Structure 1
Amino acid sequence: MLVFWEQRLVFLATPKTGSTALAVALESLASVSIQRPPVLKHTTVQRYHRFIGPYLKVASGHDFTTVALMREPVDWLGSWYRFRRREDLLDENASTRNMSFDDFANAYCETPQPGFANVGAQSRFLTPPGRQPVDRIFRYEDIGTFVDFLEDRLNCEIILPRLNVSPEADLALRPETLVRLQHKMAEDLALYSEIGGGTAR
């Protein structure tokens, strides 16, 4: 999470959407940068509005605009699968090294989800039911539009490094698994569709 005080702007770091590269590029411009532990780095919009937003408003006398990225949902899940295949992953119970992406996707669809597939949902991070959503959501796949937005708001050129890249892996899914996954991720897919064409929501 990054807070830009003068610009009244807060970047909420949706997991698996390039937040590490953005933090490296923007940290020197931010008034507040929270990069660890992960539970704070990836503060959800609901926790932001409950704990952090009110403090910022009292301290500054202004509301802050929240922004975040969203990744195509199936690709986002594939990123989690690849991330958890890393050799340096310390928690063996979270590892996906000994399974296919199809196995992982089916596990994600289970209720309850096994620990290795319990990775949340972008819709709950960005637009929790009955709660205030992120003000502006941009597509990860069109990150250039987000960078243009930031360059305009922060009045500087932004060059993103390539960091924290997960190992390559086969992300093939059986047709029946894809149908099941689309049903499970219906809220995420609908939200992603609403964003549309790389424009802000």
Structure 2
Amino acid sequence: MLVFWDQKLVLLATPKTGSTSLANALESLAAVAIQRPPVLKHTTVHRYRRFVGPYLQAASQGEWTVVALMREPRDWLNSWYRFRSREDQTDPTKSTRGMSFDDFVRAWCQDPRPAFADVGAQEKFLRPRQGEGVDRLFRYAEIDTFVEFLEDRLGCEITLPRINVSPPGETWLSPETEALLHRVAAADFALYETLKHPDQA
């Protein structure tokens, strides 16, 4: 999570949406940059609105804009699958090495999920249980639009480094698993479809 005091802007770090690259590029401009532990770095909108937001508003006597990125749900899960297949994954219960993407997605669709597939869901990260959510939500696939927004708000040119990139891996899903995913992740797909393309803004 990055807090830009003068601009009254907060960037929530949705997991697997380039948050490490964004933090690397923007940390020097932020008044507050929380990069660890993961539970604080990836503060959800619900926790922000309940705990962090009220403090910032009281301290600044102003209104804040909360922004975040969202990845296409299938692609988001594939990024997690590839990330957990890395050789430096030290916890064997969270490793996806030797596993197909199809098996990973089927495991994610279970309730409860096994440890290797227990990665949460973007919709739960980005939607509050009640009250306000994210003010501006951008598609990860159109990150250039997001960077342009940040450049305008922060008044500087931004170049994102390639950091924490997941290794290559398979992307195939059976039609049955694809259908299962769309049922279980219906809220994620619905939220993603509400996001406007640049030419619709």
TM-score (norm. length: structure 2):
0.97
> Deviations along 1:44-74, whole A, 9 cap, x unmatched?
0000111111111111111211000000000
Q: CA deviation at 1:12?
A: 0.1
Unaligned runs of 5+ in 2: none
> How far, CA to CA, are the matches of 2:141 and 2:78 in structure 1?
14
Equivalents in 2 of 1:200, 1:153: separation in Å? Answer: 20
| Cα displacement (A) at 1:116 | 1.1
Counterparts of 2:128 and 2:62, CA distance in 1? 23
- Given that 1:138 and 1:199 are in contact with CA atoms closer than 8 Å, whether structure 2 keeps it comes out as no
Q: Residues 30-179 of structure 1 correspond to what in structure 2 (within 5 A)?
A: 30-179=30-179
- The answer (yes or no) to whether the contact 1:136–1:200 under 8 Å persists in 2 is no
**Does the 8 Å CA contact 1:139/1:198 hold for their aligned counterparts?**
no
2:90 partner SS: coil
CA shift, 1:91, in A, is 1.1
- Determine helix, strand or coil for the equivalent of 2:197: coil
Q: State the distance in 1 between where 2:108 and 2:132 align.
A: 26
1:115-169 per-residue CA deviation (whole Å, 9 max, x = no partner) reads: 1111111111111343421111000000010001000000000001111011100
Could you report, residue by residue, the CA deviation over 1:178-198 in whole angstroms, capped at 9, with x for unpaired residues?
000011111110111000314
Residues in 1 aligned to 2:169 and 2:94: alpha-carbon distance in whole angstroms: 17
Residues matched between the structures, number: 201
SS of residue in 2 equivalent to 1:143: helix
Q: Which residue of 2 aligns with 1:20?
A: 20
Provide the C-alpha distance between the structure 2 equivalents of 1:132 and 1:74, rounded to a whole number of angstroms: 26
**Rounded Cα–Cα distance in structure 2 between residues aligned with 1:69 and 1:30:** 18
Moved over 4 A (4+): 198-201
The share of aligned pairs that are identical, in percent, is: 63
Query: Match for 1:32: what amino acid?
Result: V
Q: Does the CA contact (< 8 Å) of 1:2 and 1:11 recur in 2?
A: yes
Q: Following TM superposition, by how much is the alpha carbon of 1:89 offset from its aligned partner in structure 2, in angstroms?
A: 1.0
Q: 1:185 to 1:198 in 2, by over 3 A?
A: farther
SS at 2:14's partner residue? coil
Q: Aligned partners of 2:134 and 2:55: how far apart in 1?
A: 17
Listed one character per residue, the Cα deviations across residues 13-58 of structure 1 (whole Å, up to 9, x for unaligned) are 0000000000011011000000001110000000011111111111
Residue 188 of structure 1 aligns with which residue? Answer: 188
Q: 1:83·1:167 contact (CA, 8 Å) conserved in 2?
A: yes
